[in-house]
Structure 1
Amino acid sequence: MAEALALTDVAFRWPGRAGFGLSVPGWRVAAGARLLLLGESGSGKSTLLSLICGINRPDRGRVEVDGTDLGALGSTRRDRVRAERIGVVFQQFNLLPYASPTDNICLPLRFAPERRQRAEAAGRGGARAEARRLMTALKLPEEAIDAPRAGLLSVGQQQRIAVARALIGAPPLLIADEPTSALDAGSQDAFLDLLFTQCEAAGTTLIMVSHDDRLAPRFDDAIRLEDIATIQRTGFAA
């Protein structure tokens, strides 16, 4: 079975943070999976995500996204792979408040020509048409889609703009960092239904990070960070 993500013998220590390191002996995520990664605050989730996204290189081992070893690449090529192959839904959304919803969604395409081509082909009217299609599929009302600034939208609407931005151009891997933390149970279910539907339509693998194990039944699989990774707080083995 094809793999969207593979970590092998990975070890990393934050520079200047004596004693804080993370190691992952081996972890595989199949293409098309819907995986929930559970971990409490301070458990190393952010460190792991920085390695998966290629923001940081491992000190040892391999981090492969869609078959590409990120650790073997220089910073410029890692940035390109991240832009082309990974969509991210940040916990705080990280939208540009004075840009329109469509401009926010299309922003990643400025740094990813192959992803732009996929978006333009899917939209049948260019990338902006695809952005509008995604917003409609995510149940945004017309007045939100046509809003002049994303900062005018509600939190729930901004959340869906952030999802559309992560999905545009059908990246092979989508990372969602605590996207349901501010939602009640009913809103969580509705949001996950939309997210799953769009990931399946795009053929995108989903890894959602959360501290809420009540979400586990909605996913193909749920694992705890401590089951795949070890934190070294008092020393680091090279």
Structure 2
Amino acid sequence: MTGTDRILVLEDVRFRWPGRASFSLNVPRFAVNGGETVLLLGESGSGKSTLLSLICGIVVAEAGSVRVCGTDLASLAPGARDRFRAEQIGVIFQQFNLLPYATVRDNILLPLRFAPGRRARAGDAGAEAARLCAALGLAAELLTVPAGRLSVGQQQRVAVGRALIGRPLLIVADEPTSALDAGTQNAFLDLLFARCREGGTSLLMVSHDERLGARFDRVLDLSGIATTGRMAA
């Protein structure tokens, strides 16, 4: 694919967390193509969450560039990075991070409050939330139920709906299957991949579970694209 087809490109990225034994991450080059599904493997503490924080613009690299949809995140002010993330990136958190007292519908629609372009792509947002729920196997009556009353599997589907609404070009998923048994895990991945294919959305998932690899276009080990270390402050 050409450079314009790359949704995500990291080049010569260096980052370290401040502190007495600060953690460092160095990524010479890493890219994800449009519509591609990539699994990034790494053990706990290997730097996966740090990498995702860089990709989402939560933290900024000390050197090098992180480009999402052609935009260098370091060129944006903090507030602009937050708005850009809301517009272009759907995030599925390991712990889902749903608002427990808000309804399923309101949780799914939440990103659109901060992303007018994504809201426009969603069209009739309420109808789109209902469509996503149906596609994800959530009964229509659950739309008005507080998220905190749902089962873990149902909450996970709500988290996917929230990430997918408005068709972001990149989905970033942080260990989203870690709390699921094998059967539920496979059903979840079936749904996630189907929705990404439908929207032409790229998927970057980080996990420690190499058994997931057969489902993805590419499988990489974090140690193959990055070096990490701890150094004195």
Q: Distance in 1 between matches of 2:133 and 2:82?
A: 26
Residue number among 115, 128, 132 corresponding to 2:118 in the alignment: 115
Q: Which runs of 4+ in 1 moved over 4 A?
A: none
Return the match for 2:128 from 115, 127, 130. Answer: 130
Distance 2:77 2:141 in 1: 43
Kindly state the Cα deviation for residue 235 of structure 1 after the two structures are TM-superposed.
5.5
Contact 2:10–2:66 under 8 Å retained in 1: yes
Q: Output the aligned Cα RMSD.
A: 1.2
Q: Please, what TM-score do these two structures have when normalized by structure 1?
A: 0.94
Q: What are the within-5 Å matches in structure 2 for residues 86-165 of structure 1? A: 86-120=89-123, 126-147=124-145, 149-165=146-162
Q: Given that residues 13 and 65 in structure 2 are in contact (C-alpha distance below 8 angstroms), is that contact kept between their aligned partners in structure 1?
A: yes
Taking only the aligned residue pairs, the percentage that are identical comes to: 63
Length, aligned pairs only: 230
Task: List aligned pairs for 1:215-234, cutoff 5 A.
Answer: 215-234=212-231
Could you tell me which residue of structure 1 aligns to residue 203 of structure 2? Answer: 206
**What is the CA-CA distance between 1:12 and the residue it aligns to?**
0.5
**Structure 2-normalised TM-score?**
0.96
The separation in 2 between residues aligned to 1:71 and 1:11, in whole angstroms, is 12
Deviation at 1:144, TM superposition (A): 2.4
Q: Deviations over 1:9-37 (max 9, x none)?
A: 00001122534110000011111001111
> What SS does structure 2 have at the residue aligned with 1:50?
helix
- 1:49 and 1:69 mapped to 2: Cα distance? 15
Alignment pair present for 1:62 and 2:65? yes
> Gapped runs of 5+ residues in structure 2?
none
Matches within 5 A, 1:5-84: 5-84=8-87
Corresponding residue number in structure 2 for 1:123: none
In structure 1, stretches of 5+ residues that fail to align are 121-125
What is the DSSP-based 3-state SS (H/G/I as helix, E as strand, rest coil) of the residue aligned with 2:51? helix
